[in-house]
Amino acid sequence: LHSPCLTYLIPVSWFLLALVPVCYTECFDEMVVQTSAGRIRGKTMRVLSGKVTAYLGIPYAEPPIGQLRFAKPVPSKPWTNVREVTKYSNTCYQNVSNSESKALWEKIWSPNTELSENCLYLNLWVPSPRPKKAAVMVWIHGGAFMSGSSSLLVYNGRFLSHTQKVIVVSMNYRLGVFGFLALPGNSDVPGNMGLFDQRLALQWVHDNIAAFGGNPKSVTLFGQSAGAASINMHLIASQSSSLFHRVIMQSGSSNTPWAFVKSVDAKHRAAAFGKRIGCPYSSDAEFLSCLRGKSAYDVLCYSLADPQSNLLSQVIFLPVATGDFFTEKAEMLMQQKIVEKKQILQGTNRDEATYFLAMGGPGFSKDTESVIGRKDFVKAVKWILPENTVLTVDDIECEYIDEKDEDSTINYRDAVASMAADSLFVCPMKQFANKYAGQGNKVYSYLFNHLPPAGAWQKWMGVMHGYEIVFVFGMPFNKFGKWTQAEEVLSKNMMNYWSTFARTGNPIGQEVTTVKWPVYTQLKQQYIILNAKRLEVKKKFRKQTCNFWNQEIPKLVKRYEST
């Protein structure tokens, strides 16, 4: 039968069917996500046998320029069109090395985008297809609070996201004078602006991560060096602690001498900086008005320390243990009192301080064996110790030099390296672990002890500060670099430990393994050795030496202050 009505409906039906794929493509584009500020579109990245969707350069705050320089971050204004977020943002203003080295170990740490104050952006890597309620891992980079960027090659989250099916997030935050100038008592510039940046980024994750397939109730912070110290500060700050659930702290904590500055010192440093740049302090308002009128380049240049000063004084602008970032009393920063219980994975590398010694320690060089005698030993100890310390070189020599080896130049070199690592990294982190475990938190600890054969540094420098990061982010699976199969396995295992901890609060979870990762306690102080071999349980790492730094030294200080 022929019906004029049917004749009409058939072409119309085919027309409607033809529209369906178009509508489906537009409405269900996996790369387009609605955020609280507007829609964004990422890009697909092929990773090994699969792919991830990357969202690079998402603004979480307004550019901190003009009147917003040195001020708390302001959430990003909304936009109407779909915003393309397919490339990294600017790098926050910082001093950059002029080295033209093509070595892998320098290339992966070098800023790779333009320097700018307009730098408050974050990045996400999401497994494809988009997951449902995936664990979220938020990376906070290190760099002594004065350098670094989320766009560094070593921090690419694609391998971790793809292999472990987690959402990886990274962020930029203001550095140096831009992020940590402090006028304690001034509500506009109380200090800790870089930490406020981090908190706002964490709030963005909390508010938006569900739209990417993430679970806002399963957010783990992980970071290294100053990033780990920042995480420790968020643990203490009540307004931050509700935004995450677990933490991984690599080679850093807030109780280290390089992680914070007293409020009185912060004000003195601000005034000295103002004098150098031509903004002598008269009042807070005039001081800030003058500084905001200077170019970013001048602000950076005049904020840098004398390279000949001692190690700790080279980092001038740091978090300050006061102000409204820490709503509790400032003493809590040192007492390590927490707001609520968290599961913690923390650890250090075998040779944390050798890199810093090679970059400026008296008698040390990255190009030589750096064997030193007692004369350079004395200079190096004074270069490392904070100013006005009650410690003497004799105290250090007694603790670190065996009498029968006093004439050994290698022994003096290694003694300085151990002393610096213990005082700046190992022992503060042991103190952190002991206090947190004693407060009823579940703590897991590790010592990273693998020396990559592809390293470009002197053998004496060993397993340096930052070496573990390439394995956490899956760098051995990248196309460049001479990695062994054993190192690929180590990287795969470490990504699994980190992500399993993020999902379950235990680095090994429910897996059946020959070696269990024990919980760290004040009594046993057990930890795992991480290298290309099988897992190995050890206990009481540097216990006697850390008793010297964490117990004997405070007694000396107390005795000194009472006289």
How do 134-140 and 214-224 pair as beta strands? Answer: parallel
CA 417 to chain centre: 23
Annotation marks residue 328 as catalytic: no
Cβ contact 122:202 at 8 Å: no
Number of H helices and E strands in the chain, helices first, is 20, 16
Among 171, 172, 79, smallest CA distance to 117 is for: 172
Supply 120's token pair. Answer: 């408050």
Q: Which residues 6+ apart lie within 8 Å of 560 measured at CB? A: 390
Cβ contact 182:323 at 8 Å: yes
How do 167-171 and 134-140 pair as beta strands? Answer: parallel
Based on the number of CB atoms within 10 Å of its own CB, is 527 exposed (0-12), middle (13-18) or buried (19 or more)? buried
Q: How far is CA 87 from CA 42, 55, 164, 165, 543, in A?
A: 9, 8, 23, 22, 46
Supply 483's token pair. Answer: 């990695």
Annotation marks residue 352 as catalytic: yes
Cβ contact 158:127 at 8 Å: no
3-state secondary structure of 387: coil
The active-site residue, picked from 76, 150, 240, 352, is 352
The Cα–Cα gap between 359 and 380 comes to 12
* DSSP 3-state percent helix, strand, coil across the chain (nearest 5): 40, 15, 45
The active-site residue, picked from 76, 89, 161, 225, is 225
The 3-class SS string of 7-27 reads HHHHHHHHHHHHHHHHHHHHH
Annotation marks residue 465 as catalytic: yes
Q: Is the Cα dihedral 14, 16, 19, 25 positive or negative? A: negative
The active-site residue, picked from 89, 151, 465, 468, is 465
Active-site amino acid positions: 225, 352, 465
